[in-house]
């Protein structure tokens, strides 16, 4: 119970007054995601993502993710996000060819970046509860949607 109250206090102090969701606060600690990836002309695949987020002294978040996809060995990637404005975070992702932009919205968070092979990633994280978020990602290449990923992410601790 004390941990939940401490987390609520952190969220209240780190997020802008009108923001309902702070991605840095949500992803601190461990989270687990289960989702379905659908790539054009392929059968849907179940995937899972285990993440561990740590706070840096400057308030930024370093997020280590281990992604498990059927038929492939697990792969690890890293996010680094820092707040640059009351409603914006910016950072890097080891899978990305561009910087990552995270905009806070009234209903959640929108994340955008360019990946390898001219793929444009656009994802929306919508909180369902203080411990659960829905992730809807669309991937486009040359303006055409070539994949989408729908995932439920839950706080583990």
Q: Mind listing the pLDDT tens digit for each residue in 37-75?
A: 999 999 999 999 999 999 999 889 999 999 999 999 999
Q: Mind listing the pLDDT tens digit for each residue in 10-36?
A: 333 344 444 468 888 899 999 999 999
**What pLDDT is attached to residue 20?**
60
* Total of domains in the chain: 1
For residue 96, give the DSSP letter: B
**What pLDDT is attached to residue 129?**
93
CATH of the domain at 97: 2.40.128.20
**What pLDDT is attached to residue 116?**
86
Q: Indicate the average pLDDT of the chain.
A: 88
Q: Domain range for residue 35?
A: 2-155
**What pLDDT is attached to residue 58?**
87
**How many alpha carbons lie under 13 Å from residue 119 in its C-beta half-sphere?**
15
């Amino acid at each position: 119970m004390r941990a939940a109250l401490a987390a609520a206090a952190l969220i209240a102090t780190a997020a802008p007054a009108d923001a309902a969701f702070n991605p840095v606060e949500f992803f601190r600690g461990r989270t687990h995601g289960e989702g379905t990836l659908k790539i054009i002309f392929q059968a849907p695949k179940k995937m899972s993502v285990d993440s561990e987020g740590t706070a840096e002294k400057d308030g930024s978040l370093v997020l280590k993710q281990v992604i498990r996809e059927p038929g492939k060995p697990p792969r690890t990637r890293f996010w680094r996000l820092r707040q640059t404005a009351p409603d914006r975070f910016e950072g890097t992702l080891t899978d990305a060819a561009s910087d990552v932009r995270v905009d806070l919205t009234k209903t959640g968070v929108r994340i955008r970046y360019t990946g390898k092979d001219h793929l444009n990633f656009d994802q929306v994280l919508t909180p369902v509860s203080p411990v659960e978020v829905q992730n809807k990602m669309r991937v486009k290449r040359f303006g055409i949607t070539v994949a989408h990923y729908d995932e439920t992410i839950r706080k583990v601790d």
